Every structure is written in structure tokens, then in C-alpha cells.
Structure 1
Amino acid sequence: MWLWLGIGAGSAVVGLLPWIITGMRLPLQNLWDAATLPEQMPIGLLPFSQYAITLIAGILVIGAAIAGVVGRSFRDRLGRHGFATLAAGVFGAQLIAIVQTAVVVGAGLRPGTESTIYLAAVVAVAAASVVVGAVVFVLIARTSRPGALIGLSLAAVAAGWWVDALIAPSAGLVTPLQTTLLGLAQWLPAILCGVAIAWCGIHSVGRIIAALVALTAVVIGPALATAVTAAAGTRVLARYPAEMLDYGAQVFQQVLVTPELTLRPLLTTLVVAAAGLALLAVRRRRSAEA
């Protein structure tokens, strides 16, 4: 059982990799009590900041997804207790990361209601990400292929944020190589989602429905992330939650009606899925003829 506990915790650490390579110094905080240089900020196991919403989600969801893939790969050996131990490893480590970071950030923020609301909001984002990660973990590790496809599609969306942070871990100027890699990485969620659809197949009603959910996720997920990032990162709206919500809704709608932002991932997913399904059909035919 200790093995599965360690693998679960290790999955959470792999999820943290884009943050680990930065040195894990907390981002500068708008509400920090004392003037502090970036290199003097305390260590936090998560990048708590209103400007790092997608990074927090990507770190936590990818860690859970990795544990889910391990659980599915070894489910015949895991058993019920092994599955619970694997879950305890990944989500226990993530809980420790949230608590440690909340304590460090809470100690450094200046006193006041605004700081309390800010910290509660960032903790809520992290907690919600853990909940999504738990759903992804269970879907991938324990359900049939249609359920696993839905979990994998959610993980594919998070993988885009995770890889972006891995390519360009530090804010500021990026190199030409990083710019090129970031341009290529934007195709990753759609490609992963297409591969997952091909793996699942579409030869039953349940699998077709799961494929449609996956296509929806690959379009809506990035749009939602863009809206949340834009709204949360607009400091002038921080004291006006209703206006912030309205602004986020406007950005979400604008992204959804922009063809290059919605049709590109949708068509890429369909092309990859079709190619994968065709390849698998050819392999099955050759196996039948052999």
C-alpha cells in the first residue's frame, strides 16, 4: 500500500513540475503587507495569485489525471484498497500544498477585508480545481471507456495550461524558441482529445455521447479559462464582483463567437479522431485477415 501512496504523491509532484522549476517563490502580491523583491518572496507550494488561475488548475488537475492513468493501467492489481491509497497519495499531497500556501500567503498579506476576500477566492479556486481533479481521477481510473474519455478530455484542456507553464515558467519576455513552442503547444489539447476519442471509439450511443462531451470540453474549456483569467486579472474590478462577473461573461461570449479560437480546436480534434479511428480500423482488419 505504501507503493501506491508514494505513486499518488509522486503524481501530484509531477503536476507541480512547472511551478517547481521556477523555484516556487510566490508571485508578487498586490495586497502584500511589506515591499518585497521577487527573489525575497517566501516559498509557496502553489502559485497563489489572481494572475495564475489557469496554472493552479493545470497543476492540480494534471496531477490527478496522471494518478488516474496509473490507476487505470494497474487496476487489476490495485483493488479497492489500492485505489483508495493512490487517491490518498495524490489528494493528500495537494491538500498539503493548498494549506501550506494559504498559511504563507495569509501571513504576508496586509490586514483587512480585501485581503481576506482575496485569499478566500484563491483558495476556492484551488479547492475547485481539486474537485475537478478528483472527478477526472475517478473517471479515468474506474469507469468504462466513455467515462474515461470525458475525464481524459478534461485533462487534455488542463494539459495545455500545464505545458504552457512548463515551456515559459517565468513571467516576462520569452525567447524565440519558447514562442515557437508555445505556438505548437496550443494544438496539444485538441490533439490529445482526438487521440482519446479514437481510443474510446464511437460504436455505441454512450461512446458517441462521450465524444460529443469531449468536443464540447475542448472548445468551452479554453474559452472559460480565457474569461476567468481576463476577469480575475483586471485589478480595477477587484472590488466589484458583479462587474467582474459581467466582464468575464462578455469575454467568454467573444471567444466563443471568434471562429479561429473555437473552430480550430474543434476541427483539429475531429481530424485527429478520424485519423485515429481509421488507423485502428485498418489494424483490426489486418489482424482479422492474418
Structure 2
Amino acid sequence: MSHSEPATEQSHRLPLTRPTKGSDAARAWLIGLLAGVLGLSPWWITGARLPLQNLWATQVWPDHMPLALLPLSQYELTTIVALLTVGGAAAGLSIRIWSPARRRLVTWCGVGGVFTVQLVATIQSFSVLHQGLAPGSMSSLYFGGLLAGVIGSMVAALVALVLISSRSTVKATIGCGLMAVPLTSWAVEWVVGVMGYINVPTAVPSIARWVPAILAGCALAWCGFLPARRLVAWVLNLAFLWVIPALFTSVQYVLGTRVSAGDLPEMLLMSRQILAATLGPDGGALPTLLLAVVIGLLGVGVRAVVSRRRSRQGVDSTGLAADS
């Protein structure tokens, strides 16, 4: 017993080993890898068959389309945005919760993990698409347009990751507001993937309309008003909540119609008209903006009340200790 006790005491005195740069980098890369997979999982659980293509070289049944890690189609562009950006946002949130000492190193290693998944998915999917498209200028334009959309979505994923993983409350709040609409679309894709298009409850679209406002409002409640620079996050989050759904609606409508397919001037004109109508007073954005503001204000009020009660309890306990 006399020999074992000093050894035990000495073991308790040993300092905890700090994680090395290599271990932090590997962990962050793995987090990014898993986050990238999570972002694409709603598409993969459906079987990941390439959607039917208007410019496909041969007539093929949907079940006989080749496997593709991304749902490349002009009808699925907003879905692609959601799948890719949620991967970046999930990695950013994980890094923020982790809060490592080497934040910059970990962030960029997380970016590397997310982009590893997304780059592999992009190369595989566009290789399959290129092999099956009929030759011609329309196919080249279609291929290039989809590629530009995917690259833009990957850049948006990078922005979301960097903002949400930041130590700054303002930047993290802006990142959450930026992701409110894509995250809702991603969640709807999960419902569709699990239940199938036919079995999706009719209430899902109605609920999905309000979810971005709830998410943005919760982010604003967490952010608060003070210091005054945090009001920038309020303005930007409400702007995102107003503009991003309108952009999604405009893109989905224009690319989903075959009337003006290939006529770029006509498509641009149509997109401007739909965007203007959606952003206007009849577009339906005002109720969601008001809901976000109300949730944000209520959250700030509740936090203020809780903070005051805690401070009073602290003063009371200090006074009691002094009296005793």
C-alpha cells in the first residue's frame, strides 16, 4: 500500500497532454468529411439515380438512369444549393461547438474535408452527365450552366462554414440567417427521401414556409442588440429572409419551364419579372419577416429577464454570505 499510494498521487499530478496540430487537423478534416456526407445524404437515400434529362442521348426509364452523387438537373438547382451549403454549415457549427485553440487551422481543415466530399461528388456526377448527353450546343450550354451552379453552391458552402465557425457572434448569426432557407429545403428533401413524393403530408409545404423565419428569429434572439454593431446581423438576416426565398422561387420557376428553354434573354426577362413580383408587397414575405422579428424580440426579452434574476440571486447570496 505504501508503494502504490505515491504512484497514484503522482499520476494525478501529471499534466493533461494538449492536442497537437496534427490531431486537431485530422479531427477537423474528419468533421468536414462527415458534414459533407450529411449534406448530401437526403439525395443518396433516394437511390441517387440521375434525374431524367431532356437532352439525354437515348430513351431511358428513370430506374435505369446511372448513379450520380449529385442530382444534376435544371429542375433540381435549388436542391443542389441546399445539399452543398448544409454540408458547409454543419461543419462550421461543429467547429464552433468544439471551439478549438487553433481556430484558423481547424477551420481550413474542415473546409478541406467538406470539399473532398463535394469535389468527388461533382467529378463523378458530371462525368456521368457528360457521357449521357446528346452532342450539341444546347448540351454544352446545359452542362456549363449546371457546373456554374454547383461551383457557386460550393462557394456558398465555404462562406457558411467560415461565418458559422467564427468566434464572432455577429458573423455566426449572419451565417445562420444565410442558411435558414437552404436548411429548410434540405429538411424537406429528407422528408421526401424517406416518405416519397406521393406520401408527403400536405402540411409539409405550409410548415416549411414558416421554418426559415423561426430559425432566423432564434438566431437573432441569441445574438441580441448589444453592442450596437449586432444590429447589422438583424438587418442582414431579415434581408436574407426576404430575398433568398424570392431567388429560390424565381430560379425554380424559370428553370422548371420548357417554354423558354435555351432562350437566355427570355429567361432573364422572366426571372426579373418573377423576382420583382416575389419581392413586392404581394409576394408574401411580410408575415415571415414579422414572425422573425417577434421571435427575436421575445428571445432578447427573455434573456434579459433571466440575466437580471441571476444577477439578483448572485447579489442576495453574496449578502447572505457576508452576514453569516
Shift of 1:170: 8.7
Residue 31 (structure 1) aligns with: 55
Q: 2:257 aligned with 1:234, yes or no? A: yes
Q: Give the secondary-structure state (helix, strand or coil) at the position aligned to 1:202.
A: coil
Which sits farther off after the overlay, 48-57 or 71-80?
Answer: 71-80
1:92 aligns to what? 116
Question: How do residues 136-285 of structure 1 correspond to structure 2 at under 5 angstroms?
Answer: 136-169=160-193, 174-175=198-199, 178-259=201-282, 261-285=284-308
Residue in 1 that maps onto 2:42: 18
1:15-94 alignment runs, 5 A limit: 15-94=39-118
Q: Deviations over 1:7-35 (max 9, x none)?
A: 11110111112101211001100001111
SS of 2:75 mapped into structure 1: coil
Instruction: Give 1:260 deviation, angstroms.
Output: 5.9
Q: Is the 8 A contact 2:75 2:252 kept in 1?
A: yes
* Cα distance in 2, alignment partners of residues 170 and 139 from structure 1: 31
Aligned AA (2:160): V
Letter in 1 for 2:67: I
Match for 2:139: what amino acid?
A: S
State yes or no: 1:113 paired with 2:137: yes
Output the CA distance in 1 between the equivalents of 2:261 and 2:68.
Answer: 23
Contact 1:156 1:193 in 2 (8 A): yes
- Letter of the aligned partner of 1:165 in structure 2? E
Q: Deviations over 1:43-88 (max 9, x none)?
A: 1111000000110000011110000101111232454332221110
Give 1:236 deviation, angstroms: 2.3
Which consecutive unaligned segments of at least 5 residues does structure 2 have? 1-24, 314-324
Question: Would you say the 8 A contact 2:100–2:106 is kept in 1?
Answer: no
Query: Please, what TM-score do these two structures have when normalized by structure 1?
Result: 0.95
Report the Cα distance in structure 2 between the residues aligned to 1:250 and 1:104, rounded to whole angstroms. 35
Contact residue 28 and residue 95 of structure 2 kept, 8 A: no
Mark the CA change 1:13 to 1:27 in structure 2 (over 3 Å): closer, same or farther. same
Corresponding residue SS for 1:237: coil
Alignment length (residue pairs) = 289
Q: TM-score, normalising length from structure 2?
A: 0.85
Root-mean-square deviation over aligned CA pairs: 1.7
- Contact kept, 8 Å, 1:167 with 1:182, in 2: the verdict is no
Structure 1: gaps spanning 5 or more residues: none
> Contact between 1:168 and 1:178, CA under 8 Å: does it hold in 2?
no
Q: Would the aligned equivalents of 1:167 and 1:178 in 2 still touch at CA under 8 Å?
A: no
Which of the two has higher C-alpha Rg?
2
Shift of 1:210: 1.4
Deviation at 1:204, TM superposition (A): 2.5
SS in 1 for 2:244: helix
Task: Measure, in 2, the Cα distance between the counterparts of 1:90 and 1:77.
Answer: 21
Indicate whether 1:288 and 2:302 are aligned: no
